[in-house]
Amino acid sequence: MDMKQGIGLPVFPGVSIGPAVVYRKTERVMPVSSGDPALEQAKFEAAVETARQQLTELYEKAKVELGEEKAAIVEVQMLMLDDLDYLEGVAAAIADGAAAAIAALDTGEECAQFFASMDDEYMNARSADIRDMSHRIYDILCGNTGFQLPEGSFLLVAEDLAPSETIQLPRERILAFVTRQGSSSSHTAILARTLNIPSLVQSSIVLEDAESCEVLAVDGFTGTWYIDPDEETLQMLRAKQAEAAEARNALEAYRGKESVTKSGKKVLLCANIGCPEDAEAAIAGDAEGVGLMRSEFLYLGRDSLPTEEELFEAYKKVAEIMGDRPVVIRTLDIGADKQVSYMGLEAEENPALGLRGLRICLTREEIFRPQLRAIYRASAYGNLCVMFPMVASVWELKASKALCAKIRKELEDEGYPTKEVPIGVMVETPAAAVLAQDLAKEAAFFSVGTNDLTQYTLAVDRQNAKLGQFYDPYHPALLALMAHIAKAANDNGIWAGICGELGADPKMQEKFIEMGYTELSMAPGRILETRKLVCNSEV
């Protein structure tokens, strides 16, 4: 095999070598009816049998790998294949002229909505099962085979990856991401940093080449990918791997140390996490807290809203893992690149400027409430704080705080123990930055989302690979806002931190500490090197 090589934009340093898996999005083709209801009905019945076989295999696998209790989820879907209401609904739609695939999907959706409207939490949860089951039948009828993963670890290659896709991947088996699109502040890049895996975005790799290669290697130091590297290159890469491991070991000297500069400025070094399991990575990285839990990851890659109970369990888990350390939970930040299909949100011309973040919560209390109830219930198990994304006006913060107070009172009346939960603002719109003095009078803390603050201040789409040179996080306008935010926090006696990617930038960290930031939150794997920088800093 001849070696091929090319470049990409590195988003996490390190070297990975292994087999490549190419992820391609499934093209959804609109199924058309053959015009013969008897034929469509026969196709549907055959698809039900295929689904039954698939689910039986899945059930056996889940029983071995995850245990009886988790496998029961699959069993419920198998039972639903015999649900009379569903089967009769599909038959009626087919008799009316619908294509089998459309009848399966639409009837599934109707049943799911019926279950969701029932006043019974168990039945509500079944709505996701029936939706899942009908999507399976739909995919079988449309010939969508889905995404087959090999056993063991692999490097994942894709045109681009959306957060709702990455969330479904077996993270512990991914050695690297290599995408042709994406930017360094896209959520794939953020996930790569959380998982400590060398990754490239905007790479020149050809998907077909990756598909047919035996070995793929990624050098996240230089931003180079190699397809079927020759022996000399492999040796060079392995030497780099060993060097990186040595450098990581050397940082162990900073584990457990306080993060204080030589002049005595204390900085809290926290971790950004997505799902509850990442809290383990935060502890392994020696985080002094969680500065940002992106709670929307609990909403991605599924077919229905998580229940209050599910959210509560997730927050409780993080609170317990982190113990006394502070944990900042950001309420749902769906919208822009993080899309879900089940909230009934309309497609938007400008999603980054659309109904996203706190705007969804303030217009849909039924979505906001369970989050806040879950956070207050989980507050009894640790040291939780809450913050709101995409705040642009003081009234938004006041309205959210009022709901928090109402919910805490309600929970106490119901007999739940709760604790005080400091309420902060994610400063990520220029409006919030400019209004920092006013917001600081209402907030317990600020955490600056530099990824969005850069995008909105410079009017540059953070996802657009072509705008890289214009997405300048060192832009003087942005730094002026950053200084203004820190000053407003200090003037009003509240703390200010940074949870955007810029907080982990060693070129900027001392400057931020000088500005008055006392917390930096980043990928867990970045904490020890930042502590080294802080402890050796004169500022």
Of the two residues 288 and 452, which places its CB atom closer to Mg ion in the complex?
452
Candidates 80-88, 217-225, 232-240, 422-430; binding stretch for Mg ion (CB under 5 A): 422-430
Q: How far is the CB of 497 from ligand PEP (least distance, A)?
A: 11
Candidates 224-232, 409-417, 424-432, 433-441; binding stretch for Mg ion (CB under 5 A): 424-432
Q: What is Dmax (Cα atoms) for the chain?
A: 81
Beta-carbon contacts of residue 376 (< 8 Å; ≥ 6 apart): 404, 407, 408, 411, 416, 418, 421
Q: How far is the CB of 240 from ligand PEP (least distance, A)?
A: 29
Tokens representing residue 507 in the block = 């070129």
Provide the 10 A C-beta neighbour count for residue 355.
Answer: 17
Of the two residues 48 and 499, which places its CB atom closer to ligand PEP in the complex?
499
Q: Interface residues with ligand PEP (CB under 6 A)?
A: 292, 294, 333, 428, 449-452, 499-500
Q: How far is the CB of 435 from Mg ion (least distance, A)?
A: 17
Q: By CB under 5 A, is residue 525 in contact with Mg ion? A: no
Of the two residues 411 and 453, which places its CB atom closer to ligand PEP in the complex?
453
User: Which among ligand PEP, Mg ion, none contacts residue 304 (Cβ within 5 to 8 A by kind)?
Assistant: none
Residue 531 burial (10 A CB sphere; 0-12, 13-18, 19+): buried
Of the two residues 400 and 521, which places its CB atom closer to ligand PEP in the complex?
521
The single residue among 89, 276, 430, 449 that binds Mg ion, judged by CB under 5 A, is 449
User: Which among Mg ion, ligand PEP, none contacts residue 286 (Cβ within 5 to 8 A by kind)?
Assistant: none
User: Which among ligand PEP, Mg ion, none contacts residue 294 (Cβ within 5 to 8 A by kind)?
Assistant: ligand PEP
499 is catalytic: yes
Please give the size of the binding site for Mg ion, defined by CB under 5 A. Answer: 3
Tokens representing residue 48 in the block = 């039900």
Residues 450-469 touching Mg ion, rule: CB under 5 A, are: 452
Beta-carbon contacts of residue 245 (< 8 Å; ≥ 6 apart): none
475 is catalytic: no
Of the two residues 109 and 337, which places its CB atom closer to ligand PEP in the complex?
337
Phi-psi region at 428: left, alpha or beta (left = phi > 0; alpha = psi -120 to 50): alpha
Q: By CB under 5 A, is residue 296 in contact with Mg ion? A: no
Residue type, 494: I
Residue type, 251: L
Q: How far is the CB of 437 from Mg ion (least distance, A)?
A: 22
Among the options 111, 142, 187, 385, which is catalytic?
187
Q: By CB under 5 A, is residue 274 in contact with Mg ion? A: no
Q: How far is the CB of 432 from Mg ion (least distance, A)?
A: 11
Length of the chain: 539
CA atoms within 13 A on the CB side of 250: 8
Q: What's the per-residue H, E or C state across 307-347?
A: CHHHHHHHHHHHHHHHCCCCEEEECCCCECCECCCCCCCCC
**Cα–Cα distance, 200 to 180 (Å, whole number):** 8
DSSP-assigned letters across all residues of 73-115: HHHHHHHHTT-HHHHHHHHHHHHTT--HHHHHHHHHHHHHHHH
Which residues are near Mg ion by CB under 5 A?
Answer: 428, 449, 452
Among all residues, which ones are annotated catalytic?
187, 499
